[in-house]
Amino acid sequence: MFTYKYPRPSVTADSIVLCKKEGRAFILLIQRAHDPYKGKWALPGGFMDENEQLEDTARRELQEETGIVAGNMTFAGMFDKPDRDPRGRTITAVYLTRLKKCVEPVAGDDAGKARWFPLDNLPELAFDHKEIIRTTIDKR
C-alpha cells in the first residue's frame, strides 16, 4: 500500500435540521452518549465511512442518531479549525435541511437523547457547534 508523507485528517459530516413550530424556529440536537463531551448537546453527525460521500454520511448519521430521514439537504460549509476536535485533526462538512414539521426524534447510536431546541435558546454545545450554527444561519 502506498503511503503519503502528508497528514491524513479525519472527515465528518454534521446536519443542521430546522423546523418551525408556533411561529418559532427550532433546531434538532443530540445529547452525546460518549466522550468527548459526553452529556453535552451537539449537531447530529459523525465520521465518514471509507466508501461514502459526505452528504450520505450526514444522512446516515442523522438517521442513526435521531431516526429522522432527511429530504433535501443543502451543503452549508466546511469547518476546519485545527483544534476543533480533541480527538485530533478533524474536518467537517455541514448540511442544512428544513422539515415541514418538527417530527419526534428517537435517539439511537451515539446519541443519549435527541430533541428540538428553540434556535434562540440553545444549550451549551460540544465542539464548535455553536459557531457552526451561527455561521450557517447568518448565511441564510
84-97 average pLDDT score: 96
Identity (one letter) of the amino acid at 127? Answer: F
pTM of the model: 0.94
Q: Output the domain CATH number for residue 89.
A: 3.90.79.10
Domain assignment present for 5: no
Q: Which residue matches cell numbers 433546531?
A: 27
- Per-residue pLDDT band for 1 (boundaries 50, 70, 90) equals low
Residue 93 pairs with which residues in a beta bridge?
13, 78
Mind listing the pLDDT tens digit for each residue in 9-63?
999 999 999 999 999 999 999 999 999 999 999 999 999 999 999 999 999 999 9
> Which whole-number Å values give the CA distances from 40 to 30, 43, 127, in the listed order?
8, 10, 9
CA triplet 140, 39, 29: central angle to 5 degrees? 25
Instruction: Output the nine-digit C-alpha cell for 125.
Output: 454545545
Paired sense of beta strands 111-118 and 24-32, if any:
antiparallel
Domain assignment present for 24: yes
